[in-house]
Amino acid sequence: MLVPLSWLKEYVDINVTPQELQTKLFDCGFEVETLTQLGGEIDGVVVGEVTKCEPIPETHLHVCQVNCGDKGEFQICCGADNVRTGGRYPVALVNATVYATAKDHVTIEGTMKIKKGKLKGFESHGMLCSGTEIGLNEDLFPGAGYNGLLELPADTPLGADIKPITGLDDWMYDISITANRPDCQSMLGIAREVAATLGQPLKMPATDYKTDGSKLDGFTVSVEAQDLCPRYQAHYVKNIKIGEAPAWMRRRLALVGIRSISNIVDITNYVLKEIGQPMHAFDLRDLEGKQIVVRRAKQDEPIVTLDEKEFKLNPANLVICDGKKPVALAGIMGGLNSEIKEDTADVLFEAAKFARDNVRRTARALGQHSDSSSRFEKGVDEYATELGMKRALHLIEELGCGTVTDAAFAVTTGNSLERRKLTVSIAKVMSLLGIEIPQADVLRIMQNLDFNPVIDGDSLSIEIPPYREDIENAPDIAEELIRMYGYDHIQPTFLAQASVTSGGRNPQQNALMKLKNTLCGQGLYETVHYSFFSPKDLDMLRIAEDAKERKAIRILNPISEDLSIMRTMLAPSMVNAMIRNVRRGNDAGRLFEVAKLFLPEELPLTKEPEERESLCIGLFDSKLSFFDGKAVLEAVADAFRLEFTYKKPEDAAKYPFLHPGMSAVVSLDGKEIGWLGMLAHDLTDSLIPEHAAFLAELDLTALRPYLTKELRFAALPKFPVVQRDIALLVNTDVTCGELEAVMKSACKSLDRVQLFDVYRGEQIAAGKQSLAFSLFFRGDDHAFTDEEVDQFVAKILKNLGKQFEIAQR
Amino acid sequence: MDEQIKAMQAEIEAAAASITDSKEMYLLRKQYLDNKTGKISALMKNMRDLPPEERPAFGKVVNVLKDWALNFFTEQDARLKAAELAQKNAAEQIDVTMPASKHFCGALHPQTLIANELIDIFAGMGFTIFEGPEIENDYYNFTALNTPKDHPARDMQDTFYVSEEFLLRTQTSAGQIRVMENAQPPIKILSPGKVFRSDDDATHSPMFSQMEGLVVDKGITLCDLQGMLDVFAQNIFGENVKTRLRPSYFPFTEPSVEVDVSCFACGGKGCRLCKDTGWIEVLGAGMVNRHVLENCGLDPDVYTGFAFGMGIERIAMLKYGIPNIKMLFESDVRVLEQFRG
């Protein structure tokens, strides 16, 4: 919120510098985002009088002699049409900084430094300025709107700095106001805080006015939707003389970004900014049926707002109606049908409290926002409603633009505007803070904040100002005290009274870290990708329309379609990471991600979806084998002393993105826990040309129980191992895994099998391969003899022979 | 006899003189000293043919020869082996500056690195770790945290909804309620996790991660909050770092504070990192709001507590000097490899 220092000074004497005030505000909870001097970019501009002014022939220019008092007398060439002898103007001296304008002399294009120049042979030592060139407009300073020189009053002291004269020395605070302090969304609100923190009295704006005794006979105001409008006040003002608002009011509105329209409209805007109460003024002659009704809109009821936009409303919207039609969209904008016009003579002023959530919903639903709606959305208190109306009526009188009548209407729900009383235990307040604030300071702070404190022993009784709807209990008082007393009084303690607890990760969390560390040990980098992706990412991997991965939770308000559904698999994000890397010239990478999959039981979502943890591994390189990737999975198995088994997928169509010959499903304990494989050639060629990629995804939720198995020591074997090597000639479609499984089941004394050679080629028949295994036998109760081992091998070969077409080499 | 000995010595010396290989020398040694076939051993055997009175003298002479030969061959062997080793070493010179055949070294993501650091710091202070769901219901994310529907504080965070009731959690604070509903004080939890806000520009990412801390017990004060945050700040940013509390607002804490740390780059003098203020905003915190305790069935007149929440990426960016949050989600290996170790 923009707060001009000059305006603030109307309510409180400020005895500190603008920068000190910034710190004070910061310390008590009001962060000043920027503090700038209004004319901060202007420098070296003084008041000068043109003492001689002669036209330069055949140009629009004049050559002037300018008297700048103690700054000297300068010859300046000027092209403005209103330059004249005896005129006093802002003079930018050589080296001064002013705003540069476009050819239209209105649009500001940065700043410029004034240099000595020569025009048509005449030297020019400076520049006579327009209002625009020193950052002023008509509202900020009368006369500054003229597209020519800014003419200053004849008594303006020569040589004086232009800034104090035109108000450019004012300071602007842009203050961020937290959501719990809607009462500070106004000049008066901030002034109350400034007065409290400086310990200065608050000077309330005048709210007195005289009435002429007249009434509006037969006119009624009623509120049908009191839940959305707990207070509605209206007041009739007659003999309206529409005109310009005074310069001081226009300047203040201009400082906070509001353009002056007319005295009546300006008064409503002024009260909004000063008191924080949005106001509205109806042209009374446009109100039909002698009544105001505040009600929910009917279905499809139309309204055209002041900005000439038409809306079709519904019962979720609140409207202000006369006897026949809506005349305002409550809290958002008045209707075009009852706006203030140049010949308006009778006005009905409105000040109301509308429920913030309803204003917020309606403004959002209609896309119609205004200063008023944004104020209501933050929350207006009923005290401000009453104060705002009084202030507006006072201003009518002060500006002499109307006669206040006795026709006043107020419909309320009976909410009191009296102060609420609260008594809290001082000990309780201090026990939350952990320090003792001296009683004198408690009293001072509470008094400065206008809480009317009384201390009796341990109890602090206060009367809460009606605008402080946020105050309800001891912690609120604790906060008020400490923010004014100063957070620097807090003395850090280390859980002085708390119980000792044992902390740390649980076994599951430890196991996950071990898993990540294992993967790092395999040279993988951990990645983090967004939890949402695009249906296009599933298309990229050719996931079938009816695949379970397509049953994804959709975000109702996504940033874009690219980030619109919750992930049902991690692989697409991993492939996208590879694509990004390859495009950036990173030729190789070993990556993994641990993240959640979001698996709804049904869509649309009726209950919490399952969040299933998944591990995705992605390797890419210019050359890469399936077994480079499988090694990573085996390292995981080793790290947790698990045995993974691999087989080709029964249904290759389930993995349309993998190489059909180089893909597998991985199982643990007979349960399928994931898949692995090389990215299909055609996908590789189109997505990461001249590279190869390995992908795997494991269901961590299924793996979890196996990751926390307890360590047990096994006694070392007593008897030596006996090794035999065999080479088997089998068909190429027989797998190593199948052979190993048969061998193991054939002989329980077979401790370990290790494939050590594979041969396919000229020396053996086509369609055959030679697989050479080392077999390791070990006895539990005795050392095996050669004869025993021969028998084991014979049994193994026999069993292999039963299942496979096999020959020994 | 002596001549015979001398001749054999000369014969051995002559034969050895032409040998340059320790294996050949060994064969020569065997010719003379092998127990069965050696020439010197043969002399000993000849002793049996001598008359008994000559045997001691003969034996003595042969033993002298044997000792001499043993000594001679030991010296020769040592000499040749030393030469051979020198030659082998000379032949095996390598360029030690050539690249190693090294194993890959991986890296954890900065998000995990910072989370781990935080977990280690707070675990030592008795915190356990709780991880809640990423898709939360409105109650846990907002309502129970004293932020009912249409509360203006909801505007502080732009929320992704997946249904009327469910949303992508905007804050790990949601976990506070889940913990407090199911536990009795003393409660000390740390809740890391991904959070989501509908914000996507140069400095905002629609997903980032937070670390939430919660302590509920008897007699917990604002002083305890600052004391604990001092420990955090000094561990993460350096021993000399100080914290500063300043008033703020969160619906679920009262009083609420923003916590700044003194700038660890300039020591508080003012620099680019701290925008010349000497302070860097790192987290939000406060005393747990009474309504939140009540919502979780805890008596706010018996228990008090504090909570704090920080952006993990923000800490990572500050600590490691990462210029852009988006870099953390792009998986560029040139970024990731910098966090090896």
The pLDDT tens digits of the residues spanning A258-291 come to 999 999 999 999 999 999 999 999 999 999 999 9
Does residue B222 carry a pLDDT above 90?
yes
Which pLDDT score, from 0 to 100, does residue A690 have?
94
Over range B39-46, report the average pLDDT.
83
Same domain, A95 and A117: yes
The ipTM estimated for the assembled molecules is: 0.86
- B87 touches A at CB < 8 Å: no
One domain for residues A279 and A132? no
Question: Using CB atoms, which residue from A377, A501, A526 is nearest to B186?
Answer: A501
Residues whose CB is less than 8 angstroms from the CB of residue A385 and which lie 6 or more positions away in sequence, other chains included: A231, A233, A277, A351, A352, A353
Q: In this model, does residue B213 exceed pLDDT 90?
A: yes
Distances (CA, A) of A39 to A42, A131, A161, A167, B190: 5, 12, 11, 8, 50
Q: How many residues does chain B have?
A: 341
Å from B136 to nearest chain A CA? 8
Query: What pLDDT sits at residue B155?
Result: 63
Nearest to B298 by CA among B213, B210, B190, B220: B220
Chain A contact set for B219 (CB, 8 A): 431, 496-498
How far apart are alpha carbons B162 and B165 in whole angstroms? 8
CATH of the domain at A545: 3.30.930.10
Provide, rounded to the nearest whole percent, the portion of chain B with pLDDT above 90: 65
Nearest chain A residue to B337 by CA distance is A525
- Which of A493, A522, A556 comes nearest B162 by C-beta? A556
Residues of A whose CB is below 8 A from B116: 513
CB contact under 8 A, B163 and A525: no
**How many Cα atoms within 13 Å fall on the side-chain side of residue A643?**
4
**DSSP-derived 3-state class of residue A565:** strand
Tally Cβ neighbours within 10 Å of residue A447.
14
Task: Please give the residue of chain A at the shortest CA–CA distance from B254.
Answer: A475
Reply yes or no on whether the pLDDT at A10 is more than 90.
yes
CA distance A534 to chain B (A): 14
Q: How far apart are CA A191 and CA A202, in angstroms?
A: 7
Of the pLDDT bands very low, low, confident and very high (cuts 50, 70, 90), residue B156 is low
Answer for the pair B192, B109: CB distance below 8 angstroms, yes or no: no
For residue A330, the model assigns a pLDDT of: 96
Domain membership flag for residue A714: no
Among B126, B160, B206, beta carbon nearest to A500: B126
State the pTM of this model: 0.85
End-to-end alpha-carbon separation of chain A, Å? 89
The burial of A652, by beta-carbon neighbours within 10 Å (0-12 exposed, 13-18 middle, 19 or more buried), is given as middle
A520 interaction partners in chain B (CB closer than 8 Å): 105-108
How high is the pLDDT of residue B151?
A: 74
CB A182 within 8 A of CB A471: no
Mean pLDDT of chain B: 90
A522: helix, coil or strand?
coil
In a shared domain, residues A577 and A540: yes
pLDDT tens by residue, B244-269? 999 999 999 999 999 999 998 888 88
- Mutate one of B223, B230, B256, B330 to test the A interface: name it (highest A CB count within 10 A): B223
Q: Which residues of A fall within a CB distance of 8 Å from B339?
A: 525
Same domain, A360 and A406: yes
Same domain flag for A251 and A341 = yes
Residues A557, A686, single domain; the answer is yes
Q: Which CA distances in Å does B70 have to B3, B33, B57, B79?
A: 19, 8, 20, 14
Q: State the residue for tokens 């076939």.
A: B37
Say if A732 falls within a structural domain: yes
**pLDDT tens per residue, range A648-705:** 999 888 999 999 999 999 999 999 999 999 999 999 999 999 999 999 999 999 999 9
Q: Which residue of A has its CA nearest to B134?
A: A611
Q: What is the pLDDT of residues B126-135, one digit of tens each?
A: 999 999 999 9
- The verdict on residue A211 lying in a domain is no
Nearest neighbour of B249 by CB, restricted to A179, A473, A522: A179
Residues of chain B found within 8 Å of residue A598, distances taken between Cβ atoms = 134-135
Residues 6+ apart with CB under 8 A from A95: A44, A113, A114, A115
Chain A residues within an 8 Å CB radius of B290: 473, 475
Tens of pLDDT, residues A298-309 = 999 999 999 999
Q: Which two tokens stand for residue A195?
A: 């007065």
Counting residues of chain B whose pLDDT is more than 70, the rounded percentage is 98
Give the model's pLDDT for residue B47: 79
Range of the domain at A229: 220-412
Residue B324 has pLDDT above 70, yes or no: yes
Min Cα–Cα distance to chain A from B95, Å: 26
What's the pLDDT at A638? 95
Q: Are residues A702 and A618 in the same domain?
A: yes
Residue A632 and residue A562 in one domain: yes
Does residue A458 belong to any structural domain of this protein?
A: yes
User: Do both A555 and A683 map to the same domain?
Assistant: yes
Our measurement of the distance from residue A662's CA atom to the centroid of its chain's CA atoms, rounded to an integer in Å, reads 46
Classify residue A730: in a domain, yes or no.
yes
In tens, the pLDDT along A411-470 reads 999 888 899 999 999 999 999 999 999 999 999 999 999 999 999 999 999 999 999 999
What is the arrangement of strands in the sheet containing A589-599, beginning at the earlier edge strand? Answer: A525-526, A589-599, A610-621, A692-699, A671-679, A658-668, A644-647
Separation between Cα atoms, residue B324 and residue B314, nearest integer Å: 10
pLDDT at A347: 95
Q: Which residues contact B8 (CB under 8 A, 6 or more apart)?
A: B32, B39, B40, B65
Instruction: Sort residue A114 into left (φ over 0), alpha (ψ -120 to 50) or beta.
Output: beta
Q: Where are the beta strands (DSSP E) in chain B?
A: 128-129, 135-137, 166-168, 187-196, 207-217, 243-250, 253-262, 279-288, 304-311
Beta bridge partners of A48: A89
Query: B126 and A502: CB-CB below 8 Å?
Result: yes
* Residue A717 included in any domain: no
Instruction: Tell me what percent of chain A is helix, strand and coil, each rounded to the nearest 5.
Output: 30, 30, 40
Question: Same domain, yes or no, for A452 and A565?
Answer: no
Q: Are A290 and A368 members of one domain?
A: yes
* Pairing label, strands A291-296, A220-223: parallel
Is a pLDDT exceeding 70 seen at residue A731? Answer: yes
Return all residues near A269 (Cβ < 8 A) that are at least 6 apart. A253, A258, A371
Query: Measured between alpha carbons, how far is residue B120 from residues B116, B179, B185, B190 in Å?
Result: 6, 20, 22, 11
- Give A765: exposed, middle or buried? Use CB within 10 Å, 0-12, 13-18, 19+: exposed
Q: How far is CA B322 from the centre of its chain?
A: 21
Please tell me the predicted confidence (pLDDT) of residue B8: 87
Q: For residues A98 and A119, what is the distance between their CA atoms, to the nearest angstrom?
A: 20
Residue B60 CA to residue A662 CA, distance in Å, equals: 81
Give me the mean pLDDT over the A728-736 stretch: 91
CA–CA gap between residue A90 and residue B217 (Å, rounded): 67
Q: Which residues of A touch B233 (CB under 8 A)?
A: none
Q: Which chain B positions have a beta carbon within 8 Å of A554's beta carbon? A: 162
Per residue in B162-206, pLDDT (tens digit) is 998 999 999 999 888 888 888 899 999 999 999 999 888 878 899
Domain end residue (candidates: A682, A707, A732): A707
Tell me the per-residue pLDDT of A469-517, one tens digit each, with 9 for 90 and over: 999 999 999 999 999 999 999 999 988 888 888 899 999 999 999 999 9
What is the Cα B288 distance to its own chain's centre? 36
Give CA–CA dist A719/A721, Å, rounded.
Answer: 7
> Can you tell me the distance from the alpha carbon of A730 to that of A500, in angstroms, rounded to the nearest whole number?
67
Nearest CB neighbour to A475, from listed B209, B254, B333: B254
**Euclidean distance between CA atoms A272 and A384, whole angstroms:** 10
The tens digit of pLDDT for each residue in A576-607 reads: 999 999 999 999 999 999 999 999 999 888 89
Q: Chain-wide mean pLDDT for chain A?
A: 94
Where residue A10 sits, what CATH number does that domain have? 3.30.56.10
Q: Is residue A212 part of a domain?
A: no
Q: What is the distance in angstroms between the Cα of B265 and the nearest Cα belonging to chain A?
A: 22
d(Cα A493, Cα B223) in Å, to the nearest integer?
5
Query: Is the residue at A205 inside a domain?
Result: no
What pLDDT is attached to residue A496? 81
Secondary structure letter of residue A717 according to DSSP: P
**Based on the structure, what is the number of domains in chain A?**
6
pLDDT of residue B1 exceeding 80: no
Q: Measured between alpha carbons, how far is A591 from A292 in angstroms, rounded to an integer?
A: 68
- The 10s digit of each residue's pLDDT in A103-131 is 888 889 999 999 998 888 899 999 999 99
Please check whether residue A697 is in contact with residue A614, taking contact to mean a CB–CB distance below 8 angstroms: yes
Three-state DSSP class for residue A549: helix
Q: Is the pLDDT of residue A135 over 90?
A: yes
Contact by Cβ (8 Å): A771, A755? yes
Q: Which of B107, B112, B333 sits opposite A581 (nearest CB)?
A: B333
Instruction: Answer whether B104 sits within 8 Å of A563, measured CB to CB.
Output: no
Residues of chain A above pLDDT 70, percent: 100
- CATH code: domain of residue A100: 2.40.50.140
Q: Averaged over A131-145, what is the pLDDT?
A: 92
Q: Are residues A786 and A688 in the same domain?
A: no
